[in-house]
């Protein structure tokens, strides 16, 4: 009698194949995740550029003067989120980083993976038709124009001397922030989703692990750079930083 030819795989052979596949997946998964993160970081950078375009349009119509920071029942009407909207049709969507598209359901502050949520902030940023202000980016609050006695505020675009080192927008846990050289280190780089970490520094609003240990920063010269969290103190957040002896004076 002729020997019958064997068809199919044995259990051992199947286990070997599955083991090889699992090994390949384990080797490729980190690379795929990193590639995905890099892609999202690039999309985030492009969106920040578009947000800045809306800001430049506003500045052109307002004598290069930045908006004011106002809070309260009617404050949102003159806040940057509202006054920049007429200068870009998709500003509502552009305010969300791809790594933080869902608003924080627990608190108005965001985290590294959750957007800030104006709806939970006493209804200050409700828009016509119940359109809530939410997003993932924050403005460098030292640009506000309604602080005329504090020399640390830029107020106008012309007062920014070092355009390649002065941030305008960046990934942020809140709508704005006032980082200074003496800020304490944040307690973590994720941000507690249940509260605002009351008492932490303003630098902590920007110091979030959103893009593999870094954030995207929109600088005054128009560029968007991936900025390592360890180097945030090297940025010139506020005017006249060289009045402090321990703050490095940048070259012209």
What was the pLDDT predicted at 248? 42
- Runs of H (alpha helix) within 95-228: 203-206
- Runs of H (alpha helix) within the chain: 11-61, 80-83, 91-94, 203-206
Does residue 135 sit in helix, strand or coil?
strand
C-alpha span between 80 and 115 (Å, rounded): 17
CB-based burial of residue 87 (10 Å sphere; 0-12 exposed, 13-18 middle, 19+ buried)?
middle
**H helices, E strands: number in the chain:** 4, 9
What was the pLDDT predicted at 181? 81
C-alpha span between 72 and 192 (Å, rounded): 25
Q: Could you state, in order of their start, the residue ranges of all structural domains in the chain?
A: 11-243
C-alpha span between 126 and 109 (Å, rounded): 16
What was the pLDDT predicted at 185? 78
pLDDT tens for the chain, 252 residues: list them. 555 555 666 777 677 777 777 877 777 666 666 678 788 999 999 999 999 999 999 999 999 999 998 765 555 678 898 899 999 988 889 999 999 999 999 999 999 999 999 888 766 676 656 678 899 999 999 999 988 888 899 999 999 999 999 999 999 999 999 998 888 878 889 988 887 776 778 999 999 999 999 999 999 999 999 999 989 988 999 987 655 444 444 443
Q: What is the pTM of this model?
A: 0.81
């Amino acid at each position: 009698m002729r020997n019958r030819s064997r068809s199919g795989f044995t259990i051992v052979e199947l286990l070997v194949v599955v083991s090889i596949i699992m090994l390949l997946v384990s080797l490729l998964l980190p690379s795929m995740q990193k590639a995905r993160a890099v892609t999202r970081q690039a999309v985030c950078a492009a969106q920040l550029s578009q947000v800045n375009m809306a800001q430049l349009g506003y500045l052109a119509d307002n004598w290069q003067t930045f908006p004011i920071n106002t809070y309260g029942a009617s404050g949102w009407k003159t806040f940057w989120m509202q006054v920049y909207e007429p200068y870009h049709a998709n500003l509502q969507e552009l305010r969300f980083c791809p790594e933080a598209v869902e608003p924080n359901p627990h608190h108005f502050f965001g985290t590294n993976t959750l957007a800030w949520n104006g709806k939970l902030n006493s209804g200050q940023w409700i828009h016509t038709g119940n359109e809530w202000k939410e997003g993932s980016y924050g403005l460098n609050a030292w640009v506000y124009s309604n602080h005329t006695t504090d020399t640390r505020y830029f107020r106008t675009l012309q007062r920014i001397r070092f355009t390649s080192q002065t941030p305008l927008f960046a990934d942020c846990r809140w709508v704005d922030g006032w980082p200074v050289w003496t800020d304490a280190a944040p307690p973590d780089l994720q941000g507690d989703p249940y509260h605002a970490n009351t008492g932490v520094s303003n630098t902590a609003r920007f110091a979030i692990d959103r893009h593999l240990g870094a954030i995207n920063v929109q600088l005054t010269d128009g560029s968007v750079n991936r900025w390592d969290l360890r180097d945030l103190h090297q940025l010139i957040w506020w005017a006249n930083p060289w009045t402090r002896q321990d703050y490095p004076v940048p070259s012209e």
